[in-house]
């Protein structure tokens, strides 16, 4: 069981307005202590990705917060990021560890599958993420159950992240059995994302 308060891995919106988002991101990161920022961007345009990576890196690193990007390996070194978040269950963790080095953060989203999580952990992932934990129309609709996090926290040393349709009640119930929460979509449509994040995380603040 996790004996410390879970930390926060903040996920960006899929589309960023770089005229306004850095300031919004700064306010959010100043409102709640953030352990890591995850760039989760919909665009495949290299220039747009690069500009977003640079803008978000400046905000994160100014606050001593690590920043990782989903899947785009080449952007890690090119834009001074701290690592990579893989959405395929971490199937290439071993190879990427050799390419990016021991200091790079390598994490893997493993859906609701314990088997994928174990494989990613054994391959050298720094963390494993499971989700969604709340009702969501995305994917198959199957949820990562409380029992999965409880088993993981009791049996596996690699940190675990709970994400996907988080609610205040889910934060309260999962806090004893997860190391991190990864909110993002839950807050960005709010008029005040910083206030929305504080409200979502109220059970652990």
| Structure token digits, residue 120 | 């990613």
pLDDT score, position 2: 46
In CATH terms, 7-204 corresponds, of 3.40.190.90, 3.40.50.970, 3.20.20.70, 1.10.3720.10, to 3.20.20.70
Residue 136: pLDDT band (50, 70, 90) is confident
The per-residue pLDDT for range 25-55, each reduced to its tens digit, is: 999 999 999 999 999 999 999 999 999 999 9
What percent of the chain shows pLDDT beyond 70? 98
pLDDT score, position 35: 98
The dihedral formed by the CA atoms of 94, 99, 102 and 107, expressed in degrees to the nearest 10: -60
**Percent of residues in the chain assigned helix, strand, coil, to nearest 5:** 40, 15, 40
């Amino acid at each position: 069981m996790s004996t410390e308060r879970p930390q926060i891995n903040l996920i960006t919106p899929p589309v960023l307005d770089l005229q306004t988002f850095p300031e919004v991101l700064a306010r959010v990161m100043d409102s709640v202590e953030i352990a890591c920022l995850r760039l989760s961007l919909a665009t495949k345009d290299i220039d747009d990705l690069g500009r977003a990576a640079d803008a978000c890196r400046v905000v994160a690193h100014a606050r001593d917060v690590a920043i990782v990007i989903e899947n785009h390996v080449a952007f890690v070194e090119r834009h001074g990021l701290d690592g990579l978040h893989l959405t395929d269950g971490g199937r290439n963790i071993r190879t990427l560890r050799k390419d990016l080095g021991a200091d790079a953060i390598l994490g893997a989203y493993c859906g609701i599958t314990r088997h994928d999580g174990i494989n990613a952990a054994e391959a050298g992932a720094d963390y494993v993420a499971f989700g969604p934990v709340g009702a969501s129309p995305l994917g198959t609709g199957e949820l990562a159950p409380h029992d999965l996090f409880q088993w993981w926290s009791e049996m596996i040393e690699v940190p675990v992240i709970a994400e996907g349709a988080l609610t205040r009640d889910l934060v309260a119930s999962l806090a004893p059995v997860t190391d991190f929460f990864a909110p993002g979509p839950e807050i960005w449509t709010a008029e005040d994302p910083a206030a929305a994040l504080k409200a979502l995380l109220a059970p652990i603040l």
